[in-house]
Structure 1
């Protein structure tokens, strides 16, 4: 594969949609998942990064070998991201548990503990900027995907992920 094979990244992505969607499928991500579009976009970005890295090599790789290599690399990248999302969802469950509202009917829980937990969540939410509060509400209460948030805020997906990481760090520091 040489630099002259692809000049246009759009053409590159169109010509390799089968490889990209195959890697998404191999990572066990399906269209019913709310973050499917995020993973497709992430796979496309990873593919482009691999192409650019390959183009910088002085000795080009065999095309079939490169496709197999990049397919595996994309699958592993997506699996890593999926594991991170699962951890994020576990974090969300812990976050919701701090609100205490789902635990109200449990007789083993002292009502004063619920009040303290609700106050802590309220204090945490007050410590966030208005944009951060909006982000938390849209992402966790409404289930808006990271791609949709990026489009809504007019920024890159990477910026949205960094924003989420910043909020999570604030939460960890607060508790």
Structure 2
């Protein structure tokens, strides 16, 4: 292992708590489905921030680097969350895939789109993600539970909570 790789490894080890603190600041806990993805993105950003820093991150400028990196990581995470929010907007193709139905008429598409937008409005991000996973026939409840790091019973409880929030919308699909 060369000196540069060793130095980067030390930076990541020393400032790993800053990454987790940034995620916690944005209320993303370790059970969040994308927690590790966000943490990895922040690790990459931390190394980029360290390269652009005009001091010694592991030396005498450590305190200044923590403040500098903290701001940089925070705004990078905000940017990532905004991008993911735009990606999660509902499209016709996603609706058809989630509902696993062929929609023959444009009026039916509009009704389904309205239904999904109303579902999206009523559920928070994690509930909506869980609903999409439950609609995905390739995943079992056990697999979903493992992804969330919880038991199957918890997934069923969350599913029932989602159903209670959107149950009155089923008339839109008839």
> What's the TM-score once normalised by structure 2's chain length?
0.49
